[in-house]
């Protein structure tokens, strides 16, 4: 079974996930990066040119494939849990973790990051809206919520590694 990192953009899923996969010597799959690799297009271009519905259909397939594997660290795109199928697959994994932070922290991380807005709103308003809509979905798709607001990527990695060792029975480093 897999370690799954879910949460909003800017929560630290990709950065901490890469560190964790390297430390545990497990393959790492970032579903947004996999979508970009397969389509040859950036996420922002996909949204602009093909629309969110098309993106979500591709995302659901990519997530299902990533979560069907064994012994991986999987970083889900921020909105992946909006698919009931993806949320259920994530919840069934060994360690599904919701990486969360206060909206102001997420907005601060996204501001100046070059990541495009998904709505016509400003960064803070978008984060607030999406987080409010997705929070119940993250709760259903995961078993543990980890506040990453004041943690470094290394500290997030440490915390998830400790959780993994507890649930997997692996206590040797």
Q: Is residue 17 part of a domain?
A: yes
Alpha-carbon torsion angle 67, 72, 73, 75, nearest 10: -30
Q: Is residue 156 part of a domain?
A: yes
Backbone angles phi, psi at 29, to 5 degrees: -125, 120
CATH number for the domain spanning 162: value is 3.40.50.300
Report the 10 Å Cβ neighbour count for 53. 7
Which one-letter DSSP state was computed for residue 81? G
Specify the number of domains making up the chain: 1
Q: Is residue 172 part of a domain?
A: no
pLDDT value for 72: 96
Which one-letter DSSP state was computed for residue 74? E
* pLDDT-derived band at 118, boundaries 50, 70, 90: low
Q: Is residue 7 part of a domain?
A: yes
Q: Tell me the C-alpha distance between 141 and 80, whole Å.
A: 10
Instruction: Write out the residue range of the structural domain in which residue 76 sits.
Output: 3-166
pTM equals 0.92
Q: Is residue 171 part of a domain?
A: no
Which one-letter DSSP state was computed for residue 117? P
Average pLDDT of the chain?
92
Q: Is residue 86 part of a domain?
A: yes
**Has residue 74 got a pLDDT over 80?**
yes
pLDDT value for 171: 52
**Has residue 70 got a pLDDT over 60?**
yes
Q: Is residue 142 part of a domain?
A: yes
Q: Is residue 116 part of a domain?
A: yes
C-alpha 82: how far from its chain's center?
12
């Amino acid at each position: 079974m897999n370690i799954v990192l879910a949460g909003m953009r800017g929560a630290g899923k990709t950065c901490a996930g890469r560190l964790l996969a390297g430390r545990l010597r497990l393959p790492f799959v970032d579903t947004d990066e996999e979508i970009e690799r397969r389509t040859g297009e950036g996420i922002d271009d996909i949204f602009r040119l093909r629309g969110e519905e098309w993106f979500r259909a591709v995302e659901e397939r990519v997530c299902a494939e990533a979560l069907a594997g064994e012994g991986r660290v999987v970083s889900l795109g921020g909105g992946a849990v909006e698919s009931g199928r993806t949320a259920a697959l994530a919840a069934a994994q060994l360690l599904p973790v919701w990486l969360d932070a206060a909206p102001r922290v997420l907005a601060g991380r996204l501001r100046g990051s070059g990541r495009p807005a998904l709505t016509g709103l400003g960064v803070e308003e978008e984060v607030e809206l999406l987080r409010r809509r997705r929070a119940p979905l993250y709760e259903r798709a995961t078993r543990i919520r980890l506040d990453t607001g004041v943690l470094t990527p290394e500290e997030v990695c440490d915390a998830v590694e400790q959780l993994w060792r507890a649930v997997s029975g692996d206590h040797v480093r």
